[in-house]
Amino acid sequence: MKKCVKIAFHAPLKKDILHSFVQHYARSFALEGVAQAQAPDIVKIVVFGEMEAIDNLVDVIHKEAQKYSITQIEIEPFLKDRDYRGIFRVIE
């Protein structure tokens, strides 16, 4: 079963957090969606895919939270409002 969620968290934005961490794991779990840095320390992610794959991504975010100084993780259901064409993108 597929689902779509919106994930938001606070993290000091290092240049590699979106590409080498978020995008890497989203692609390895065959998820599609977008990630974007908003404000100086907020990251917002919309991700769509199999429930198990999304749960795996959330688990990785929680496990790596200390390493990347991630705080205030918020996860909520989201309605897929566009076609991500099978790709996970980082918007800069």
CATH code: domain 2-81 is 3.30.70.100
Q: What is the pLDDT along the chain (92 residues), one digit of tens a residue?
A: 999 999 999 988 766 688 888 999 999 999 999 999 887 889 999 999 999 999 999 999 999 999 889 999 999 999 988 888 999 999 98
Q: Which of 5, 13, 30 is nearest to 88 (CA)?
A: 30
The reported pLDDT for the residue numbered 40 is 80
The reported pLDDT for the residue numbered 20 is 83
Following DSSP, what letter does each residue of 25-55 receive, concatenated?
A: HHHHTT-EEEEEEETTTEEEEEEEEEHHHHH
Q: Phi, psi (5° rounding) for residue 59?
A: -60, -45
Residue 50 tokens, joined: 């199999």
Domain boundaries, the chain: 2-81
